[in-house]
């Protein structure tokens, strides 16, 4: 493989079959999103958002770019902005792991940390996100910057409708019977599910939420704190389409931590907690018989475990 620059590493990620985790009939395939230069699935959205902003005249050469980010979107944007030569400022809640801020600074981003409202270290809540968002918006005005606004930006969804979905379809086609994924901004879930259901209406799609934070499933928020950074913010997801959800699945922090070890030690895949939650949910989905007798389930390894 030969690319003109590091942006060539974004999208077309490898698909891997898990051989050592499932103990009943069925297959789980995982998309290795951590191979992208920012280390996560958010590189896809970052690339599409910046490309689309240029195409629509919303972003000009040299103009600053600002985003509120849990770290992964920041890394993706830092990579993409470096290649497009736009200075980038990441506004982050202090609750995200310090390794994330370090990575962003190393990539040349300006990092602004916002104190937490009700979260704790390593546990970012919806209120923490709101506080960081307010700071990002005021900074955008100060700098006359382009505000990425990943939660509301439709390119967050189209990145997956044009990328993740078609890639899964190309690899698995009609063999694929189900798609399982967690929800942060909802871009991955909505874009991918919409594409796959458009290709084959019988593909079953299941959304993953942390236990106690199952707002999309219509349950009361009992505990917004969990270890699955990047998903489960307990907020109304702007692009959410309930009709794309056949099942809501729940994973708790202990299960995410357990599956993280399992993936590393049984499969050689050292990933983050949301990736582990996706695999845990895929196993539950199959064990509960939600996908029929011998389902072929695709899910996402959102990021590397090195940042936690
Ligand atoms: C580690 C991790 N997992 C999952 C997600 C969820 O992706 P999406 O925003 O597309 O719902 C994110 C998003 O930031 C993330 O950082």
Question: In this predicted structure, what is the pLDDT of residue 225?
Answer: 86
Among candidate residues 147, 171, 187, the one where a domain is terminated: 147
Q: How far is the CA of 223 from the centre of ligand 1 (A)?
A: 19
Task: Record the pTM.
Answer: 0.94
Asked if 103 and 162 sit in the same domain, the reply is no
d(CA 299, CA 15): 9
Question: In this predicted structure, what is the pLDDT of residue 126?
Answer: 78
Instruction: Let me know if residue 189 belongs to a domain.
Output: yes
Instruction: Let me know if residue 1 belongs to a domain.
Output: no
pLDDT tens for the 308 residues of the chain, in order: 999 999 999 999 999 999 999 999 999 999 999 999 999 999 999 999 999 999 999 999 999 999 998 789 999 999 999 999 999 999 999 888 788 888 899 999 999 999 998 878 877 777 888 899 999 999 999 999 999 999 999 999 999 999 999 999 999 999 999 999 999 999 999 999 999 999 999 999 999 999 999 999 999 999 988 999 889 988 889 999 999 999 999 999 999 999 999 999 999 999 999 999 999 999 999 999 999 898 999 999 999 998 88
Q: What are the φ/ψ torsions at residue 240 (nearest 5 degrees)? A: -65, 135
Instruction: Let me know if residue 59 belongs to a domain.
Output: yes
Q: How far is the CA of 73 from the centre of ligand 1 (A)?
A: 8
Tokens representing 66 are: 């600002």
Asked if 215 and 290 sit in the same domain, the reply is yes
Domain count for the chain: 2
Q: Is 138 a catalytic residue?
A: no
Q: Which ligand 1 atom is the nearest neighbour of the CA of 187?
A: 10
Asked if 181 and 293 sit in the same domain, the reply is yes
Q: In what side-by-side order are the strands of the sheet with 146-147? A: 110-114, 88-93, 65-68, 146-147
Q: Spot the catalytic one: 27, 31, 40, 42.
A: 42
Residue span of the structural domain in which 171 resides: 6-37+155-307
Asked if 126 and 70 sit in the same domain, the reply is yes
Nearest CA to ligand 1 atom 1: 230
Whether residue 76 contacts residue 69, with contact meaning beta carbons closer than 8 Å, is answered with no
Task: Read off the CATH number of the domain in which 134 is found.
Answer: 3.40.50.1100
Q: Spot the catalytic one: 40, 274, 284, 307.
A: 274
Q: Which of 124, 188, 194 to mutate to test the pocket of ligand 1 (most atoms within 8 A of CB)?
A: 188
Q: How far is the CA of 33 from the centre of ligand 1 (A)?
A: 11
Asked if 29 and 58 sit in the same domain, the reply is no
Nearest CA to ligand 1 atom 5: 230
Cα within 13 Å of Cα(164), Cβ side: 33
Asked if 32 and 60 sit in the same domain, the reply is no
d(CA 213, CA 183): 11
If one counts every other C-beta atom within 10 angstroms of the C-beta of residue 187, the result is: 30
Neighbouring residues of 247: CB distance < 8 A, sequence distance ≥ 6: 204, 205, 206, 207, 285, 290
Neighbouring residues of 102: CB distance < 8 A, sequence distance ≥ 6: none
Asked if 167 and 302 sit in the same domain, the reply is yes
Question: In this predicted structure, what is the pLDDT of residue 19?
Answer: 97
Q: How far is the CA of 123 from the centre of ligand 1 (A)?
A: 14
Ligand 1 contacts (CB < 6 A) are: 40-42, 70, 72-73, 182-189, 229-231, 272, 274, 302-303
Q: Which ligand 1 atom is the nearest neighbour of the CA of 71?
A: 16
d(CA 71, CA 143): 21
Instruction: Let me know if residue 202 belongs to a domain.
Output: yes
Q: Which ligand 1 atom is the nearest neighbour of the CA of 156?
A: 10
Q: Which of 33, 72, 160 to mutate to test the pocket of ligand 1 (most atoms within 8 A of CB)?
A: 72
Query: How does DSSP assign 155-166, residue by residue?
Result: HHHHHHHHTHHH
Query: How does DSSP assign 56-76, residue by residue?
Result: TTSS-TT--EEEE-SSHHHHH
Asked if 22 and 65 sit in the same domain, the reply is no
Instruction: Let me know if residue 221 belongs to a domain.
Output: yes
Instruction: Let me know if residue 162 belongs to a domain.
Output: yes
d(CA 106, CA 137): 24
Q: Is 42 a catalytic residue?
A: yes
Q: What is the pLDDT of residues 133-180, one digit of tens each?
A: 999 999 999 999 999 999 999 999 999 999 999 999 999 999 999 999
Q: Which of 154, 165, 230 to mutate to test the pocket of ligand 1 (most atoms within 8 A of CB)?
A: 230
Asked if 250 and 109 sit in the same domain, the reply is no
Q: How far is the CA of 100 from the centre of ligand 1 (A)?
A: 14
Q: Which ligand 1 atom is the nearest neighbour of the CA of 302?
A: 3
Asked if 181 and 125 sit in the same domain, the reply is no
Instruction: Let me know if residue 97 belongs to a domain.
Output: yes
Q: How far is the CA of 63 from the centre of ligand 1 (A)?
A: 26
Instruction: Let me know if residue 17 belongs to a domain.
Output: yes
Asked if 173 and 140 sit in the same domain, the reply is no
Question: In this predicted structure, what is the pLDDT of residue 97?
Answer: 78
Asked if 119 and 179 sit in the same domain, the reply is no
Among candidate residues 97, 128, 147, the one where a domain is terminated: 147
Question: In this predicted structure, what is the pLDDT of residue 265?
Answer: 98
If one counts every other C-beta atom within 10 angstroms of the C-beta of residue 305, the result is: 18
Among candidate residues 147, 178, 196, the one where a domain is terminated: 147
């Amino acid at each position: 493989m030969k690319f003109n620059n590091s942006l060539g590493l974004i999208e077309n990620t490898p698909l891997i079959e898990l051989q050592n985790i499932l103990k009943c009939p069925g297959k789980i395939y995982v998309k290795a999103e951590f191979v992208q230069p920012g280390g996560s699935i958010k590189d896809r959205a970052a690339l599409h958002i910046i490309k689309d902003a240029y195409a629509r005249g919303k972003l000009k050469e040299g103009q600053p770019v600002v985003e509120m980010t849990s770290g992964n979107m920041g890394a993706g944007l830092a990579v993409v902005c470096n290649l497009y030569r736009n200075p980038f400022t990441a506004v982050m809640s202090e609750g995200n792991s310090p390794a994330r801020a370090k990575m962003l600074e190393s990539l040349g981003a300006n990092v602004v940390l916002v104190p937490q409202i009700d979260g704790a270290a390593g546990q970012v809540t919806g209120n923490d996100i709101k506080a960081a968002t307010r700071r990002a918006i005021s900074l955008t005005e100060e700098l006359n910057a382009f505000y990425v606004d990943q939660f509301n930006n439709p390119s967050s969804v189209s990145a997956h409708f044009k990328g993740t979905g078609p890639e899964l379809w190309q690899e698995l086609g009609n063999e694929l019977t189900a798609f399982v994924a967690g929800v942060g901004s909802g871009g991955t879930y909505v874009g991918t599910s919409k594409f796959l259901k458009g290709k084959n209406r019988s593909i079953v799609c299941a959304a993953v939420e942390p236990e106690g934070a199952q707002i999309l499933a219509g349950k009361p928020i009992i505990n917004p704190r969990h270890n699955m950074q990047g998903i489960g913010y307990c907020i109304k997801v702007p692009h959410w389409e309930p009709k794309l959800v056949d099942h809501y699945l729940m994973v708790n922090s202990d299960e995410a931590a357990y599956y993280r070890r399992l993936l590393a030690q049984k499969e050689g895949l050292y990933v983050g907690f949301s990736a582990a939650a996706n695999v845990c949910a895929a196993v539950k989905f199959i064990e509960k018989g939600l996908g029929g007798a011998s389902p072929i389930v695709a899910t996402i390894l959102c990021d590397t475990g090195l940042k936690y």
